[in-house]
Amino acid sequence: MKIIDIQEKTFSISSDIKNAYISFAKMDCSVVAIKTDIKINGENVVGYGFHSNGRYAVSELLTKRFIPRLNEANEKDLLNDEGNNFSPEKISKVLMQNEKPGGHGERSTAVGTLDMAVWDIVSKIEQVPLYEYLAKKYGNGEFTNKIFVYAAGGYYYPGKDIPLLLDEMKGYLDLGFTTVKMKIGGAPLKDDLKRIESVLKLVGDGKNLCVDANGRFDLKTAIEYGAAIEPYNLKWYEEAGDPLDYELNSELSKTYKNGLATGENLFSIQDSRNLIRYGGMRKDIDWLQFDCSLSYGLVEYLKTLKMMKENNWSSTRVIPHGGHQISCNIAAGLNLGGNEIYPSLFQPFGGFPDSSLVENSQVTFPKFIGMGYEKKEKLNTLFKKLFN
């Protein structure tokens, strides 16, 4: 049992959207295919991986450092003890050899991209959906094919006025989402409040709306925005300040009484643990958004979930960033609170199989094997095109 080929491609996911911090005009991502010598129904098992939007392609890290480590590894160093499947944990060790601790940079994205493909392979070899494999091997055995999802969007577009924002949000409601998320912090507070109030009228209740400042605010602004939006009783107020400014988050949590959310830009268990230790996050009302594709993958994510448990945090407080199928699987197999989805952005990545049903912001998956990519036609077609 061995890996016979690994390819990396860069794919553009550029668009003219902006959040409070960045433009997506030059956004791209790395996509990998790992081909094995295992054949099922006459076809080699191939696993696919990519990473979330918001971080650029990591081609050089992949092609110069991490892919060569996998190619040069001994076969037994990649397999489980029984020798009947690949071991994501052992592969993670191979990838991380000779890497110093700390300073995670974007190597965590490169490793997360390869890790995604490895879990696709492992669950395809087992011939089960990844969520079932996760529940049985790493969870309490219980899994579901139905999870909470919310529609993320509401970016700033050039010249985008409130009617266009509402059209976008109406589109999400028509798709079966009841909870939506919009950006804030890219316009003056008074304009953002108008945007929020108009979307609130559409979604009916604060519990159906999240707002995301993308780390834009200093403490004073974060508190000002918090005071202004608190009466709306929103589902959450996301990334008010810099992701690594735990004190800011902690101070904000003392003045803002509704839910805060953060964590998408913390790329290691150590950073996530610091958020839990020092960020003032409240176990009963706040949300954690760690994104495995950006943070060394699911092997690291399992450690993060264990760390949360040791700190008496429920896995249901995690709703990952990124909108991709590995997080759908983690949510369904390891009892997370749900997953983010970008119905109109960054496609064909993310989302879920085409025939999934979305009702009341709950998605029900059809039967699939592995990550579920083969049931998402546009993504499957893109993989075939990139790697043939």
Active site residues: 183, 321
Does the N-terminal peptide bond of residue 348 adopt cis geometry, omega within 30 degrees of 0? yes
Q: Which is nearer to Mg ion, 85 or 221 (CB)?
A: 221
388 has binding-site annotation:
no
155 is in an annotated binding site: yes
* Residue 86 DSSP code: B
- How far is residue 141's CA from residue 125's CA, in Å, rounded to a whole number? 19
Number of Cβ within 10 Å of residue 108's Cβ equals 26
Count CB atoms within 10 A of the CB of residue 372: 27
Supply the minimum distance, in Å, between the C-beta of residue 212 and Mg ion: 4
Q: Report the DSSP pairing between strands 28-40 and 3-12.
A: antiparallel
Residue 371 Cβ vs Mg ion, minimum distance, rounded to whole Å:
23
Is 264 annotated as contributing to ligand binding?
Answer: yes
Query: Considering the complex, what minimum distance in angstroms separates the CB of residue 149 from Mg ion?
Result: 15
Shortest spacing between CB 341 and Mg ion, in angstroms: 13
Residue nearest to Mg ion (CB): 212
CB of 214 to Mg ion, least distance (A): 6
DSSP 185-200: SSS-HHHHHHHHHHHH
The residue among 4 and 22 lying less far from Mg ion, judged by its C-beta, is 22
Task: Return the closest-CA partner of residue 119 out of 61, 35, 62, 49.
Answer: 49
**Shortest CA distance to 302 belongs to which of 27, 83, 120, 112?**
112
Of the two residues 212 and 245, which places its CB atom closer to Mg ion in the complex? Answer: 212
Rank residues 17 and 122 by Cβ distance to Mg ion and give the closer one. 17
Find out whether 212 is annotated in a ligand binding site. Answer: yes
Alpha-carbon span 225 to 293, nearest angstrom: 30
Strands 209-212 and 236-238: parallel
- Annotated binding-site residue? 71: no
Q: What is the DSSP letter of 78?
A: G
Tell me: is residue 360 an annotated ligand-binding position. Answer: no
Residues that bind Mg ion in the complex, under the rule CB under 5 A: 212
Smaller CB separation from Mg ion, 143 or 156: 156
In the chain, DSSP assigns E strands to 3-12, 28-40, 43-50, 146-152, 180-183, 209-212, 236-238, 260-262, 287-288, 339-341, 357-359, 362-364
Residues annotated within the binding site for Mg(2+) are 212, 238, 264
Residues annotated within the binding site for substrate are 19, 53, 100, 155, 181, 238, 264, 321
Residues annotated within the binding site are 19, 53, 100, 155, 181, 212, 238, 264, 321
